[in-house]
Amino acid sequence: MNQKVLLGMSGGVDSSVAAILLKEMGYDVYGVTMKLWESEDDELEGSCCSLSSSLDAKRVCDNLEIPHYTLNLKQQFKESVINNFICEYRNGRTPNPCIECNKYLKFGAMYQKAQELEIDHIATGHYAKTEYSKKYGRYVLRKANNLIKDQSYVLYNIPQYLLERMLFPLGIVESKEETRKIAQKYNLRVANKPDSEDICFIPDGNYKKFLEEKSTLKPIEGNIVNQKGEILGKHTGIYHYTIGQRKGLGISNHVPLYVIGLNKEKNEVMVGEQSELYKKEMLVNNINLLLIDDLKEKLQVFVKTRYSAKEEQAIIEKVDEDLIKVYFEKPVARITPGQSAVFYIEDVVLGGGKII
């Protein structure tokens, strides 16, 4: 009997091709679309939660003759992702909701559903790889063959015990063009569907409007200050700003100024010159380790501080039970509280956590 796999399907080309590849590998595939969010305009293109996306996923499953399920996880999504998103901005931090969604919905609720259905594995259309490593004596998370699309960064908080049950069939695909060619070969109508790049619950990209409409968060004017505490102007609410921002500050200076810090307690936006954006150290908490059980001594790694950031060489050291200090070899710009720091050894994910 073939092993069963529950595949998360958004209606996009990546998860659709993942279904094809899993079938070719000999798995019995069960597609599941998670209903996470319902906006006033449920048909907004680019939203993976729209009705059209769900229908696309079902059509693909029908074409491939595999079962399709829909899971209503709106309440869990609100509690684990939306509320966290609002809370982080309220506290002057910049969250990555996709990482929270992976942790609580894909590796949480979806895995629970697989267990209920007595399904062996779960899978998604992410570009990454899991495999058993003789070198490390455990299952590991590796970068995808397609390094341009590699998404191992947003997967660092998979529970270690789940790695051996996770499948990422797109990890071996060499390019996005190859992914689309596979879809075209099977005559899937989603073959040329554009990628969704916005936050799924904010398809128009206007997160400030979302925060003000979906929470009690309202703009409270405060001071824009430099590191000396000198007042340079007024801001319109700290959640309107993020580390590294240059435009929209409304202040003039003889050299360009950038946001270098947000102080919720004082309701201040701190600005500085470009050189003040760089830091040689940072702290990370909410740690999830995949490659080792505990960080017992200093370790040299490569670190990504944002999904789109390049890797930086660093030394990491455990300084408390759930706290790692990162010492960069060279100063790194735009270290942003709320974003995730992910540690790599070669192409393997060591683990990661939240920047504080």
Say which residue the tokens 């779960």 belong to: 122
User: DSSP alpha helices (H): ranges in the chain?
Assistant: 13-24, 51-64, 74-77, 83-90, 97-101, 110-116, 176-185, 207-214
Contact 72, 110 (CB under 8 A): no
Domain count, the chain: 3
Strands annotated E in the chain: 4-8, 28-35, 68-72, 121-123, 128-133, 138-143, 166-167, 222-225, 231-235, 258-263, 268-272, 278-289, 299-304, 312-320, 323-333, 340-345, 348-355
Verify that 29 and 67 share a domain, yes or no. Answer: yes
State which of 257, 272, 287 marks the end of a domain: 272
State which of 185, 206, 237 marks the end of a domain: 185
Using the predicted structure, report yes or no on whether residue 123 has a pLDDT greater than 50: yes
Verify that 114 and 131 share a domain, yes or no. Answer: yes
Verify that 54 and 166 share a domain, yes or no. Answer: yes
Range(s) of the domain holding residue 230: 219-272
3-state secondary structure of 161: helix
Verify that 23 and 63 share a domain, yes or no. Answer: yes
Instruction: With CA atoms as reference, report the closest residue to 96 among 336, 268, 288, 285.
Output: 336
Sheet harboring 222-225: ordered strands across?
231-235, 222-225, 268-272, 258-263
pLDDT tens readout for residues 158-206: 999 999 999 999 999 999 999 999 999 999 999 999 887 778 899 888 9
Q: Does residue 211 lie within any of the structural domains?
A: no
Q: Does residue 322 lie within any of the structural domains?
A: yes
Torsion-angle region of residue 276: left (phi > 0), alpha (psi -120 to 50) or beta? alpha
d(Cα 346, Cα 356) in Å, to the nearest integer? 25
Q: Does residue 200 lie within any of the structural domains?
A: no
pLDDT band at 54 (very low <50, low <70, confident <90, very high): confident
State which of 272, 302, 336 marks the end of a domain: 272
Structure token pair of residue 339: 């974003």
Tell how far CA 317 is from the center of its chain: 24
Q: How many CB atoms lie within 10 A of CB 279?
A: 15
Query: What pLDDT is attached to residue 203?
Result: 85
Verify that 138 and 10 share a domain, yes or no. Answer: yes
> What CATH number is attached to the domain comprising 337?
2.40.30.10
User: DSSP alpha helices (H): ranges in 163-296?
Assistant: 176-185, 207-214
Q: Does residue 178 lie within any of the structural domains?
A: yes
Verify that 19 and 137 share a domain, yes or no. Answer: yes
pLDDT tens readout for residues 211-223: 999 999 999 999 9
Verify that 171 and 53 share a domain, yes or no. Answer: yes
Active site residue 98: no
Contact 267, 220 (CB under 8 A): yes
Query: What pLDDT is attached to residue 197?
Result: 72
Verify that 126 and 48 share a domain, yes or no. Answer: yes
Query: What pLDDT is attached to residue 138?
Result: 97
Q: Does residue 202 lie within any of the structural domains?
A: no
Using the predicted structure, report yes or no on whether residue 51 has a pLDDT greater than 80: no
d(Cα 82, Cα 242) in Å, to the nearest integer? 19
Active site residue 61: no
Verify that 235 and 97 share a domain, yes or no. Answer: no
> What CATH number is attached to the domain comprising 229?
2.30.30.280
Query: What pLDDT is attached to residue 43?
Result: 46
Verify that 117 and 254 share a domain, yes or no. Answer: no
- Counting other chains too, the contacts that 248-254 makes at CB distance below 8 Å and 24 or more residues apart are 249/224, 250/224, 251/224
Q: What proportion of the chain, given as a percentage, has pLDDT over 70? A: 96
Query: What pLDDT is attached to residue 46?
Result: 46
Using the predicted structure, report yes or no on whether residue 52 has a pLDDT greater than 80: no
Instruction: With CA atoms as reference, report the closest residue to 13 among 201, 164, 149, 154.
Output: 149
Q: Does residue 198 lie within any of the structural domains?
A: no
pLDDT band at 39 (very low <50, low <70, confident <90, very high): low
> What CATH number is attached to the domain comprising 85?
3.40.50.620
Q: Does residue 194 lie within any of the structural domains?
A: no
Instruction: With CA atoms as reference, report the closest residue to 130 among 117, 143, 145.
Output: 143
Verify that 59 and 90 share a domain, yes or no. Answer: yes
Verify that 230 and 307 share a domain, yes or no. Answer: no
Contact 162, 103 (CB under 8 A): no
Query: What pLDDT is attached to residue 184?
Result: 97
d(Cα 121, Cα 165) in Å, to the nearest integer? 5
pTM over 0.85: yes
pLDDT tens readout for residues 269-319: 999 999 999 999 999 999 999 999 999 999 999 999 999 999 999 999 999
Q: Does residue 214 lie within any of the structural domains?
A: no
